[in-house]
Amino acid sequence: MKVQQAKQRFGIIGNSVLLDRSINIALQVAPTDISVFVSGESGTGKESIPKIIHQASKRKHNNYIAVNCGAIPEGTIDSELFGHEKGSFTGAHDSRKGYFEVADGGTIFLDEVAELPLSTQVRLLRVLESGEFIKVGSSTPIKINVRVIAATNINIPQAIKNGKFREDLYYRLNTVSIFIPSLRERKEDISLLFRKFASDFSEQYNTPSIRLDEEAMDIITNYNWPGNIRQLKNFVSQLSVIEKERNISAQTILDSLPENKNSSNTPILFEDKNKADLSEREILYKVLFDMKRDLTELKKITFDLMKKDGETETTQVFNDLSENEITLVSHDTTNKTEESDSSFSLADHEKMLIKQSLEKHNGKRKLAADELGISERTLYRKIKEFNL
């Protein structure tokens, strides 16, 4: 099986090099029996990798079982995974096979493996090391031949440090690691995914498919998508149902998108808490820095003119930068003191910078936002606020 065949078979959409690399690694390890650890943010589609590995392996004719470890109550997780004997606990009226016994000869996928309690992690480690487990309420070990694939969106090294995940189990599971890139790391695939979801919902709801203009597509391409593919799919579903107009504008996209709280490129599972979230203050900080730079340039120009003309003996430029105004004071050298105070409100200077940037880039808001160092969402809001 090749990468493109795997995509078509399992409905994987995208041409990202990072995505293709992950699928290629999965196909390479498939013929072996080694454990595989799949990592990536929530909503990236990690569940597709175990299916690819199973179907490309010699185990493909045997059982494939996917278990969401986070959805099973802690009190019953051992019974669910390893089975139990009759009478082993209240309510155990019959003996029961666990998922590992049912998957004997095949593959078991443990999704959200970091949610397992420590006692269950010990049992899982024994299965990986010896291929044996003991049912709840039994003393007889059972031998099985199961390939284990695990996945999580949690920062495992941090969980190990906090004593919530066994280090020896992590290294035993992580024989081969496959990382699934987030949606913001494969931006070139966002337009493909949008059109696919729009087409699917069009068929489902029996309505014309929604379409985005160029500006609207730029916005969703550069949005952070903290929920990744799952969030994008739900977003397209929302637009398909709620919006009566099939041609979706940029303003509609901005009004519908939630405020992007993860605007850095740091993946959620390795989030840097030292980085502050962007907010309304981002443009104010940018304005302040630009003001300081402009004043420095003004001071340099003044000194250059003084040196060139020889008409000015002393010139002082004092800048008092506060939250609300900038005051420029200059003195000439004829002992005739002329003081000129020019106070600009922060809002006026902010409006001026935005207007200049838009004119510079011929109204292209994405380029203007990049130059100003703010998000497109904030820029759109400011344009509307200043009536530009």
pLDDT digits (tens, 9 = 90+) for 187-243: 999 999 999 999 999 998 888 999 998 999 999 999 999 999 999 999 999 999 888
**For the chain, what is the mean pLDDT?**
82
Long-range contacts of 54-58 (CB under 8 A, 24+ apart): 54/30, 54/106, 54/107, 54/147, 55/1, 55/9, 55/30, 56/1, 56/6, 56/26, 56/27, 56/30, 56/31, 57/30, 57/31, 57/107, 57/147, 58/31
Kindly tell me if the per-residue pLDDT of 32 is higher than 50: yes
**Which whole number is the average pLDDT over 252-266?**
66
**Which whole number is the average pLDDT over 137-147?**
93
Q: Left (φ > 0), alpha (ψ -120 to 50) or beta: where does 206 sit? A: left
**Which whole number is the average pLDDT over 282-297?**
63
CATH code of domain 281-386: 1.10.10.60
Burial of 284: CB neighbours in 10 Å, binned 0-12, 13-18, 19+: middle
Lookup: tokens for 386: 């200043």
DSSP 92-156: --S-B--HHHHTTTSEEEEETGGGS-HHHHHHHHHHHHHSEEE-BT--SEEE---EEEEEESS-H
- Predicted confidence at residue 313, as pLDDT, reads 47
- Predicted confidence at residue 127, as pLDDT, reads 94
Higher pLDDT, 294 or 275: 294
- Predicted confidence at residue 262, as pLDDT, reads 43
C-alpha–C-alpha distance, residues 379 and 226, integer Å: 21
In this structure, whether the domain defined by 187-270 belongs to CATH 1.10.8.60 is answered with yes
Kindly tell me if the per-residue pLDDT of 91 is higher than 70: yes
Higher pLDDT, 93 or 229: 229
pLDDT, tens digit (0-9, with 9 covering 90-100), for 147-163: 999 999 999 999 999 99
C-alpha–C-alpha distance, residues 20 and 148, integer Å: 23
Q: How confident is the model at residue 244 (pLDDT cuts 50, 70, 90)?
A: confident
CA–centroid distance for 280 within its chain:
22
Lookup: tokens for 126: 């024994």
Kindly tell me if the per-residue pLDDT of 270 is higher than 50: no
- Predicted confidence at residue 299, as pLDDT, reads 67
Kindly tell me if the per-residue pLDDT of 285 is higher than 50: yes
C-alpha–C-alpha distance, residues 341 and 57, integer Å: 78
Describe the chain by its helix, strand, coil percentages, rounded to 5.
50, 10, 40
Kindly tell me if the per-residue pLDDT of 277 is higher than 70: no
- Predicted confidence at residue 206, as pLDDT, reads 86
- Predicted confidence at residue 297, as pLDDT, reads 67
- Predicted confidence at residue 94, as pLDDT, reads 86
- Predicted confidence at residue 363, as pLDDT, reads 80
Q: Which of 172-181, 221-230, 287-296, 335-344 has the lowest mean pLDDT?
A: 335-344
| Topology (CATH) of 3-181 | Rossmann fold (3.40.50)
List the domain boundaries for the chain.
3-181, 187-270, 281-386
- Predicted confidence at residue 193, as pLDDT, reads 96
Q: Which of 96-100, 127-131, 279-283 has the lowest mean pLDDT?
A: 279-283
pLDDT, tens digit (0-9, with 9 covering 90-100), for 94-126: 888 999 999 999 999 999 999 999 999 999 999
pLDDT, tens digit (0-9, with 9 covering 90-100), for 297-349: 676 676 666 665 554 444 444 444 444 444 443 444 444 444 434 445 667 77
> Could you give the angle at the alpha carbon of 261 between the alpha carbons of 256 and 267, nearest 5°?
115
**Which whole number is the average pLDDT over 76-102?**
88
Measured on CA atoms in the order 252, 256, 259, 260, is the torsion positive or negative? negative
Q: How far is CA 273 from CA 41, 266, 344, 373, in A?
A: 17, 10, 35, 20
Lookup: tokens for 338: 């002329």
The SS3 assignment for 179 reads strand
- Predicted confidence at residue 231, as pLDDT, reads 94
